[in-house]
Chains A and B, each alone.
Chain A
Amino acid sequence: MISKEIDRVGLAVALISAMYPLVQQVGASRIVKGVRIPHPCGDPSLPPELDLRLRREIVETALKALQSEVKGPSLFLPNMAVAA
């Protein structure tokens, strides 16, 4: 909802969420797939150096998403392999 309001005033916005289908349904424009619901932007179960790489990958995907033109809800997938 907040992301839609930011969109409405003409600012580019990307939303990182592990519940991306729900966010798609609500109508957010740029959606970045997050890791898990309790920790979308990283994975505390990883060793710190791997977690840092994962977090960087997610943030960089979000920055790429911000620079992309989209028509309607679009999903951006960070390159990550995380267990369910």
Chain B
Amino acid sequence: MRLELAEFPVTQVKLEGKFSYHSGTLEVDGGEIKSLVLQDMRIADVELAVVVPGEKVRVTGIRDVVEPRVKVNGKGQVFPGTLSPVAPVGEGRTHRLPGMAVVVSAEYEGTIRAGSAVQRSAMLDMWGPGAEASRFSSRVNLVLVLRLVKGLSEIEAHTAIQRAEYAVAKRLAETTTGVKPQRVESYEFGRKKSKLPRVVLIQGCLTDSHHPHSGLSYYGLPVRDSLATLVHPNELLDGAVTGDTTRAMAPFPTTWDWQNHPLVLGLYEEHGRNLNLVGVILERIRFETHLGKEVIAHNTAQLAATLGADGALITWTFSGNCFVDVMLTIRACEQRGIKTVLVTYEYGGKDGVDTPLLYYVPEAKAIVSTGSRDRWIELPTPERVVGPNERIQLFSYPGAPVVSAWDSVTLDARDLIIGGVDIWGGQSSTCRAY
């Protein structure tokens, strides 16, 4: 299965005019984008804005980030099961627009008002310390500001937001059909025999089986109490794995993260040189008994062993007790002779002196830290605010304090900044040892 990603880098987005892509400039027909979004009766209104790196602008109410892509060759279309029919994607040619992203923001009160399923949105500063903290501040962002009709359930709101952002992302990428790409990158597994070590990526995924959306979808189907599942990395590149747009927080991956998974891309880069990539295992984590955690660890390691893996790169999503599942998976792999490297962020508290990890096993000998999730951050006053509301809710419980988006904000942790936690090592932080 060979997928070519043809690159059409964007350095400038203009909202007036007809759709076109020409040497880095993307012209967008704002009127057509609006009518495309408003085809969905669950969306009452939409506004468009462009924000650029370095600009003193704050975006509020963010639900997701997506990179514009379209398939021009091969079976199916991008975002199978969510935007387009279910078809075996990951083959042929897909156009992508690096250098820009579509950021979708939406006001949504939610029918669930408290607890772990409550709706969440995040913010993004395009300048200053907030920009430094996030991987989404270095590109030109086209922001969709959605107003949803009142009274939608969580799953309806999610579907409306997701459909809108994906339809727009695909429409933007369609401007490049017939245009010569700046670069083409190929992604393919070698079938030829190789003596290189066989490496699998184990992607732990927190899913909440009792939430309206579990937090992880495969071809649009929410994954709930699943056992480990083997997927082709090219499926990720074509948007077959997505999340829940009513719960955007820094420790959750966005669609952009699934499309640009840094460990998938890194393993592909080494494929055929230093290692042999053999696949991606999606491991559901957050089982509610210790037995469940032991079983998923065993099942995942068994699948990796069946693939003949010599090594496994292990990472995860979100937070909490599901990290026990991750650590037990490391143990189960090591017990089978599969060498492991864990890629994870640390806690540490706002001053960095608390326990960095929730749980550990002695078998976890190789860990790559992607930095802290917890460190406090001060965000200065913006000159412009884009988004569905001009206030920021600091916590999710009912009646939690709100601050004006126009003010400076002090955060105890990075959760409220989209891309504020380096979940999979895609950012370029360095550390100093004392």
Contact = CB atoms under 8 A, between A and B. Distances in A.
Interface residues of B, number: 12
B359 A20 contact: no
Contacts of A72: none
A2 to B, nearest CB: 15
B291 A19 contact: no
B288 A21 contact: no
A18 interface: yes
B38 interface: no
Interface in B287-340: 287-292, 295, 321, 324
A72 to B, nearest CB: 17
A61 B223 CA distance: 37
B295 A37 contact: no
B358 interface: yes
Given A22-B358, A22-B359, A37 B321 contact: yes
B355 to A, nearest CB: 9
B291 A84 contact: yes
Contacts of A82: 289
B359 A84 contact: no
Contact of B287 (A22, A25, A35, A84): A84
A36 interface: yes
Contacts of B290: 18-21
A48 interface: no
A20 B287 CA distance: 14
Nearest to B225: A84
A44 interface: no
Contact of A36 (B288, B295, B324, B358): B288
A21 B324 CA distance: 9
A19 B321 contact: yes
Given A25-B359, A37-B288, 15 more contacts: A18-B290, A19-B324, A20-B290, A21-B290, A21-B359, A22-B324, A22-B358, A25-B360, A35-B289, A36-B288, A37-B289, A82-B289, A84-B287, A84-B291, A84-B295
Interface of A: 18-22, 25, 35-38, 82, 84
5 contacts: A19-B324, A21-B290, A21-B359, A22-B321, A37-B288
